Structure 1
């Protein structure tokens, strides 16, 4: 790899860091400091969410196979400031949509488009962006929080 190519790649990486941290500085040291602080804040947020969840597990604790089969499937994808959340269940889930929307609000997510079906089961496909000023989270963290909300909803402890 040529020296110019390496420099261009490095400059591109700094530009990505700069945009991810909303840095206005052109100084590489300042960009690195801001990125480091951003990473620390995200780690703190992850730790706090894990403490609130009481577990770092991303899968529901189930006591039997039937219960495991009936637990809704959750898939979360993020790309920069956008997110997509899909939840599917073969069973009807009255009240689950409201529970999940409340989770979105708590995480600072603005839903731009959502499709839900509750006829023969439950399906939710939601797309949106992070609220202005809210820090974006890793897809796995969002998934954990949604799964924990579903657990609470299933046990009847979710707040309507």
Structure 2
């Protein structure tokens, strides 16, 4: 399997007034503009050749949110999305203000084959969600990560 089908990402969580909340990212660009449920993601991205998966996850999180991840990181394992992309994920406890998120930009041809290129933020917004709402908002394959995090936290309390 090529490295382009492997991504690594981080799921930021916090416990606010005894309740678990998860920090998710909404992809930028015209394809995602009007999509909500099933469109959100953990901040993630491709793994460079020779790069360790966790290092890639941390780099991608910071590039897509402007927030620097802080260890410790809890391994959440791997999920496979419908199109075959494998995502290796970790969770970390911290906080972030969605209003101050800054994302790197990407450039893509739109519509494909048109010769017209658009530049836009890779992530257009982030938000905090309770676990049930996060499951609905996340790409279906990534929703499994919520249950894995809950199980890890239940076992540590």
TM category (shorter chain) comes to: under 0.3
Structure with the higher fraction of residues in strand conformation: 2
Structure with the higher fraction of residues in helix conformation: 1
- Normalising by structure 1, report the TM-score: 0.25
Larger RCO: 1 or 2 (CA < 8 Å, sep 6+): 2
- Normalising by structure 2, report the TM-score: 0.25
Structure with greater Cα Rg:
1
